[in-house]
């Protein structure tokens, strides 16, 4: 009989009579079933690992491209015109004074909020009134 374990010779599901004939056939005539564990889980893990590596490579390439294509902004500088200029924690007249800039001191302009300018004073950033700053042309 052309019956293999669990399937007929045509590859379709065996009929009920085929199963009965298989069960009632002598042990010596039955085919030996060899268990072969599936390797699909290992392949799935390997495929997932490859996908993660490819995704990381793409993200790193995008980041590298963005960093390389970003043009550095020219540093905007200004000079303090007041004798002593209070640098405040917020762009408000009653905000806490956190530093003092002296006349002719050069500062980096970072941000503008109305009449207030956020400046870089050494390693510290603070807010000052823009009327006490005179812009310095690049290269001067």
> Does 113 fall in a domain?
yes
* Nearest residue to 139 (alpha-carbon basis) of 94, 63, 96, 75: 75
User: Which residue range is the domain that position 26 belongs to?
Assistant: 16-69
> Does 130 fall in a domain?
yes
Task: Count CA atoms within 13 Å of residue 52 on its CB side.
Answer: 6
SS3 50: helix
Q: What is the pLDDT along the chain (140 residues), one digit of tens a residue?
A: 454 555 445 557 878 888 888 888 888 877 776 666 666 777 888 899 999 999 999 999 988 887 776 666 667 899 999 999 999 999 999 999 999 999 999 999 999 999 999 999 888 899 999 999 999 887 65
Q: In terms of domains, do 131 and 86 share one?
A: yes
Alpha helix locations (H) across the chain? 16-24, 40-69
pTM over 0.85, yes/no: no
């Amino acid at each position: 009989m052309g019956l293999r374990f669990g399937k007929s010779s045509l590859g379709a599901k065996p009929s009920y009579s085929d199963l009965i004939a298989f069960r009632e056939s002598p042990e010596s005539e039955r085919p030996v079933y060899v268990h072969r564990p599936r390797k699909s889980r290992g392949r799935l893990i390997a495929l997932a690992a490859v996908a993660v590596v490819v995704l990381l490579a793409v993200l790193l390439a995008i980041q590298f491209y963005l960093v390389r294509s970003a043009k550095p902004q020219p540093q905007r500088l200004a000079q303090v015109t007041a004798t002593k200029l209070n640098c405040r924690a917020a762009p408000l007249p009653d905000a806490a004074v956190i530093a003092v800039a002296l006349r002719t001191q050069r500062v980096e302009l970072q941000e503008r909020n109305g009449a207030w300018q956020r400046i870089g004073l050494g390693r510290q950033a603070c807010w000052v009134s823009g009327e006490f700053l005179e812009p310095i042309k690049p290269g001067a």
